Structure 1
Amino acid sequence: MVSGLLASSSLLFYILLHACFILLASNTTFGFANETDNQALLAIKNQIAEDPFQVFSWNDSIQFCNWKGVTCSRQHHQRVTVLNLSSLELVGSLSPHIGNLTFLREIYLENNNLHDTIPQEIGRLFRLQNISLGNNFFQGEFPINLTRCLGLRVINLAWNNLVGRIPIELGSFTNLLLLDLTKNHFIGNIPPSLGNLSSLRVLLLDYNNLEGSIPFELGKLSNLVFSIEFQQFVRNDSYPALQYLVHLFLCSSGSVPMNLGSLLDLKWLNINNNRFGNEKANTLSFLDSLTNCTNLGFLDLGGNYFGGVLPNSIANLSTNLTILQISQNYLSGSIPRGIENLVNLKLLALDGNMFTGSIPESIGKLSELEQLFISANNISGKIPSSIGNMSRLSILGLG
């Protein structure tokens, strides 16, 4: 009996000793992890020269998971997963120590006054899903090490001072939903590799110094929903509200891809004030493809040197179209009679071309039309009486 008690006591002692060993090892690991994240956050704080809202009242009196702008994981014992310091007028630079926050999934630093380069150490954050550094003064080239973070879903580096070329490696982000590089100083062509971003819904590249044609490969981005102005972009930093926008670029030349019709959810396409036509005939043949875009509501092709006649396929565009703007081109021939099919048009702008013939009587069937511009053409004949049926018309330009 005594030997049985001794055996039981020995077993219990072994179990308790083993449990203590595990607990000690766990505490050591967690303690190291906590200290690593804690020191990384303090290093980030030390790089901030001005903090007008006194966000960085970070000190040891409060556990760092409770510091303002810091969110920790419940699953992984007190590891930082979100750093949100947006719109706080912070002045300074981003510490390379941010690369030590290895559990970080989301970074929000937009709308501040941060400068210098984006540290390459950010490429160590292999769990990263969202990086939003827009509206700062970051310099240098695109942080190429960021392309190691293949889980990224949102990249917002807009409204900074980044230079160089857009890396072809960006084409590896098959989970990416939004890419915003607006208002930087990027040069060169748009990489055709962006056509591999199979999940992409939002592409914003305007206000850069890009050149060349729109890559044919972008026509494969079937999840892009719609495209808005290339030039007159009204800023909106609420990305949920931007989830259906696509910007491309400013002042490009070349041709428009013939496969835009594969973007079946396209709602807004604006390529105005570029040089896609070069005054040549049949440069609007891509409209045949756009007839597949049954959700298209806005189409602006103005100021592009398009030449030749306006294709009859214009009549087969989506009946959801409310804005059709083809002003300031080199289009000739007559205005297609079938334009009457676009029954929901509110604005029709054909001014500044070389159209001949008369205004078709059928134009009066556009009962929703509010603005009609046909001035600065070679139109002749009488003004059709059917225009009198347009009860919503408020602006008529025939000069």
Structure 2
Amino acid sequence: MYHFKNLSNWTSIVCNLSGTVSKVNISGVNLKGTLAQFNFTLFLNLTCSLDLSNNNLSGPIPPAIGNLSKLTYLDVGLNYFDNIIPSEIGRLTKLRYVSLYSNYLNGSIPYQFRNLRKVWYLDLGSNYLVNPDWSKFSGMPLLTRLSLSYKELTSGFPGFILDCHNLTYLDLSLNKFTGPIP
């Protein structure tokens, strides 16, 4: 296992009692670059959160992010990430909060998101995502907030939403859905 010297003294890093990293919060610090060379294996025990929001990060979100299996909070919103959303995010089954808001992500929303059964907050708004096969999605039983706004999705109403019984906030604005709302 790799240990950083005095890591718990870093402002944006929180360690648990055993000295392993549990939280990384590098939001709003004007961080520039990509995650292409980021070594996610150094943070396999990251048990709480990864917050890289509100920076100037670009390029794709690496599939290796799916190795952070203990993660409960992921926020990479308000950056310049592009390319597809890696389906490996669906392996992060302990996630409760996911924000990919306001990036340049494109392609389809991975149906593997259906594996995120503990998520209560999901924001995929303000990206360039295209219509997924909604039939491959299933309800997220704890989901209370969902935003699929600003995408210009053109398919029918996302039926899986009807199985999200705890939903209290839904934003589907600025899309071009067709057909009836069930």
Establish whether residue 335 from structure 1 lines up as the match of residue 132 from structure 2: no
Q: Give the alignment's Cα RMSD to 1 decimal.
A: 2.3
**Offset, 1:379:** 0.9
2:161 partner SS: helix
Residue 227 of structure 1 aligns to a residue whose secondary structure is strand
Cα 1:200–1:332 shift into 2, 3 Å: same
Structure 2 stretches lacking a partner, 5+ long: 14-18, 174-182
- Tell me which structure has the larger Cα radius of gyration: 1
SS at match of 2:143: coil
- CA 229–259 in structure 1, closer or farther in 2 if over 3 Å, else same: closer
**Does the alignment pair 1:262 with 2:42?**
yes
Q: Which runs of 5 or more structure 1 residues have no equivalent in the other structure?
A: 1-194, 207-221, 232-249
1:312 alignment partner in structure 2: 87
The answer on whether the counterparts of 1:299 and 1:323 sit within 8 Å (CA) in structure 2 is: yes
Matched, 1:347 2:121: yes
If the length of structure 2 is used for normalisation, what is the TM-score?
Answer: 0.81
Residue by residue over 1:43-72, the C-alpha shift from the partner in whole angstroms, topping out at 9 and shown as x without a partner, is xxxxxxxxxxxxxxxxxxxxxxxxxxxxxx
Name the one with the larger strand percent. Answer: 2
Q: How far apart are the structure 2 equivalents of 1:337 and 1:348? A: 14
Pairing partner for 1:367 from 133, 136, 141:
141
Identical pairs, percent: 25
Map of 2:7 onto structure 1: 200
* Aligned residues of 1:323 and 1:345 also touching (Cα < 8 A): yes
Quick check: which one's helix share is greater?
A: 1
With a CA cutoff of 8 Å and minimum separation of 6, indicate the structure with the bigger relative contact order: 2
1:260-283: CA deviations, max 9, x gaps?
232122120001111111xx4xx2
Offset, 1:356: 1.0
1:284 counterpart = 2:61: yes
Q: Distance in 1 between matches of 2:9 and 2:44?
A: 15
Runs of at least 4 residues off by over 4 Å:
none
Pairwise CA distance, 1:368: 1.0
The alignment partner of 1:289 has SS state of helix
CA contact (8 A) 1:261 1:290 kept: no
Check conservation: 2:111, 2:132, Cα contact below 8 A. no
Number of matched pairs: 165
Seen in structure 2, the aligned counterparts of structure 1 residues 348 and 375 have a Cα distance that, compared at 3 Å, is same
